[in-house]
Structure 1
C-alpha cells in the first residue's frame, strides 16, 4: 500500500487491442492461472496504485467481466481498430488528470514487472521515471500529473516515449534487476522463468470490505459507483465505467439510502444541458469516511500479513 506521505498515484493499462492484427496477444490470455490484464491490475494494487483505469476496445465486454470485482474503471476507445496505443493512453490521461498527482502507464503486453519495482519508481519523486533492465528501457512509465496537458498536446508519431522526449525535461532513468519490465508478452520463451518470481511478488491478503445490517448494503462496487457519480454527475455514465447495469445501480443506491436513513444521491432537473446527478453532502461525507476506514483496514491487514507470513517465511 502507498504510505500516507506518498503521492496519490493512478494507473493506466492500455488493453484496447486490434481485431485485425493477429500479432497482438489478447489481454485475456492466461499466464499462470490468471489473465494478463488481471496480473497487471494485481501488481498495481499491490503497490497501492488507485484509481486504476483500463482502456478497452476489442473484446471490451470480456475484459470488463474478467475484472468486474477488482475495483477498476473501464474507458473504451471506440476507434481502437484505427488508432494507436498512445491514443488509448490519452483517454486514460484525460480521465485521471484531476484525480491523482502522478500516473503509472503500461501497455497490457508488459505484465511481469513486480510491485517492488513500482515502489522503487514511486520513491524517485521525479516528474518522469523510466525503468530499465541491463540498459534496456521498459514499462511501466511514471508521469507527474502536471505534465499531462503537454502530453495530451503531442501529435507526433512516436507514441508515449516521443511525447515524453518532446517535453524537454530530464527524466529519472531507474536501473532495476527486474527483467519483467522489458519482457513483452510476445516473448513466450521467457515466461516460465519469470512467472514463479512474479507470482510470489503479488502474494497478498485479498480483502472484500462491506457494511451490512440484515443484509449487505455497501461494498467496494457501491463505493466505486458513488465515486464515479461524484465525478461524472451521471448514474448512466458511471455505470458504463464499471460494467454495471443502470437498473442494478439504482437498486444499489436505493438499498444504501434505505439502510442509512438519508439521501445519498440527488437529481437536479432541467437546464439547457439537461439534469445532473450528484452526491448529497451526507452522501459525500459517508463515502469519505468509508474510504478512510477501508484504507486503514487494508493497511492493518497488510502489516499483519507481512508480520505473520512474509517476515516469518511461512509462505
Structure 2
C-alpha cells in the first residue's frame, strides 16, 4: 500500500508565537530540536520511509515554500485558509492527496512529537487509525483513501464508527501541541528524551595530566561555579562535594601549573569571596575551546564508524 503524508500548515500560527526578543515567529518555522518544526517533521516521516509528503500551505505560503524549497515536498495551497475551518482545510489536503497515495498520515504542524515506534505501528494497521494515549486522541492519524465505504466527510471526521481503528499507545507525544501553554518546553524535553533513548551518541572528555591527572571536567565545572557564585563553598555545594575537597582540587591545579586560578579574599561577614584570575580564565577558555573542537571532529568520526548502527 502506497503511504504518503499530509502536513497541515495552512493556519495563521504567527500571531502568538514569539521568540526571545518578543518578535512574532511563524510556527512551522519555529526553531525546535536543532532544526525547525516542519523540517523536523519531514525528517521523522522520511525516516519511516513515507513518500510523497504533501504540505498544505496558506498563511505565509510563499515564505514556507521557500523554507522547504530543497526538501522535495508537494505543496497544495488553501487560498481561503482564514475562512476555512480545520475540517475544510483538511478536505482540500485529502482531495489533493487522493491521486498520489492510497494511505495518508495526517499531521497538523503543531503536533511534532510522536515517537518513531508510533508511526511504525500506524503503518502496520490495515484500516484507518487514530492513536491515543490514556484515552486521549492524538496525531498523526492514518487515513486509508482507498476505502470505498468511506466518503470524504467521514474521513475528515476520523470517526471510529466509520471504520477507523483505535491504536492505544504508551506515547504521550501524540497528544502534545506546540499551541498549548508550555507546549514548546514540554515537546523540547520529550524530543530530547526520545533522542537519548533511541540514538547512539558518544561523550568526549578532556583530561590534562603530568604524572597524574589534575585538570578535567570536575575542576572545570567547579571553577565555573566559583565564577558564578564568588564562593568556593557555594560552588562545592552545587557539585555535592565537600568544601575541603574543592580546595584540594584547586590547590593541585595551581601547584601543577605554577600560577593561581583564584584571587582569595578571606574573612568578612559572609566568609570571604573568590574570583578567577586572568591566567585562570585564559586556561579555562582554552580548555573549553579545545573540548568543543574535539567534539566537532570526533562527531564526524563517530558517524563514519557507527552511523550504520543508528
Which category describes the TM-score, using the shorter chain as reference length?
0.5 to 0.7
1:197 paired with 2:198, answer: no
Aligned partner of 2:178 in structure 1 is: 185
From 169, 175, 180, the equivalent of 1:176 is 169
Aligned partner of 1:99 in structure 2 is: 100
1:28 paired with 2:29, answer: yes
Q: How does 1:38-49 map to 2 (within 5 A)?
A: 38-49=39-50
Q: How does 1:183-262 map to 2 (within 5 A)?
A: 183-186=176-179, 187-199=183-195
From 6, 9, 12, the equivalent of 2:3 is 9
Q: Which residues of structure 1 form unaligned runs of 5+?
A: 1-6, 205-304
Q: Is the 8 A contact 2:14 2:26 kept in 1?
A: no
SS of the residue 2:121 aligns to? helix
What TM-score comes out, normalization by structure 2 length?
0.57
Q: Is the 8 A contact 2:9 2:56 kept in 1?
A: yes
SS of the residue 1:41 aligns to? helix
Give the Å deviation of 1:151. 4.5
Rg larger for: 2
Task: Map Cα deviations across residues 52-99 of structure 1 (whole Å, 9 max, x no partner).
Answer: 100011111221122111111111100011111222211221112122
Residues 151 and 29 of structure 1: is their aligned pair in 2 closer, same or farther, counting only changes over 3 Å?
farther
Q: Which residues of structure 2 form unaligned runs of 5+?
A: 18-24, 201-302
Q: Is the 8 A contact 1:132 1:174 kept in 2?
A: yes
Comparing 102-111 and 193-202, the one that deviates more: 193-202
- Cα root mean square deviation, aligned: 3.1
Q: Distance in 1 between matches of 2:7 and 2:60?
A: 15
Q: Is the 8 A contact 2:101 2:145 kept in 1?
A: yes
SS of the residue 1:68 aligns to? coil
Give the Å deviation of 1:44. 0.9
SS of the residue 2:96 aligns to? helix
Q: Aligned pair count?
A: 198
Q: Is the 8 A contact 1:16 1:77 kept in 2?
A: yes
Aligned partner of 1:269 in structure 2 is: none
Which fold has the larger relative contact order, with Cα–Cα distance below 8 Å and residues 6 or more apart in sequence? 1
